[in-house]
Amino acid sequence: MTEAKWHVSVEETPQGFALLRGDKPLLTPMGHPLAVPQAPLAAAIAEEWQGQQQRIRKYELPLTSLACVAIDLAGNKREAATNDILPYAGTDLICYRAGDIPALRDRQSEVLDPLCAWAKERFGVALTLTEGVMPVAQPLENETGLKRVIDTYDMWTFAVLASCVKPLGSLILALALVERRVNAQDAFRLGHLEELYETEQWGADEEKDAKMRALENDLAAAERFLLLAA
């Protein structure tokens, strides 16, 4: 028996552009109505659902997932999410360089030093760089300053930021993405310089490459979400 397909429509409401299945609203995992601020974003989310069967393939719904994160993290849950990503201010990936691999270290310096300079100019944070993997202390005021910036973001921008920090291993790089300092392709490349270097040197690994492609697709979806929500 063929599974019933999903047919999702958009309706403008006082809460925004709501996604409906029939006459019933789609709901987030926490039971909130799924409604977004811009019609193009709602249309793109509705398009994701076309062709979905009764068994939902979540990996095909990246915009839907980001909208759900935004809605479910609103209110008092946003503070907990902020506290979850802020520690990356003290362990940011872009501060750690490959001292034992000169070619990779030079590449890191070439592309990551300008990002550190941008963070200093844009946010007033001074990043301490090191070689190797041993932790290096960062100025305590960095976290306070970055929190002030993050608190200014609307819920849609915050959702993208919160979703990108851990996969990139970098709060600064995720901020650069939402601030349009880098695009999704560059964010992926800058966040995975070591893995890309290893592929150049020793060839592709099928399992690792699949994970990298999935991450690159997720970042592209995050960038698209930002553009549509603006």
Residues of the chain with pLDDT under 50: 1
The predicted structure's pLDDT at residue 1: 42
Which two three-digit tokens encode residue 172?
């600064």
pLDDT in tens, 87-112: 999 999 999 999 899 999 999 999 99
Torsion angles phi and psi, residue 9, rounded to 5: -120, 170
Nearest to 92 by CA among 6, 37, 166, 7: 166
Instruction: Using alpha carbons, list the distances in angstroms from residue 230 to 63, 192, 223.
Output: 14, 28, 11
Domain 77-229 CATH class label: mainly alpha
The predicted structure's pLDDT at residue 26: 95
Q: What CATH number belongs to 8-52? A: 3.30.2180.10
The predicted structure's pLDDT at residue 4: 56
pLDDT in tens, 158-191: 999 999 999 999 999 999 999 999 999 999 999 9
Domain boundaries, given as residue ranges, for the chain = 8-52, 77-229
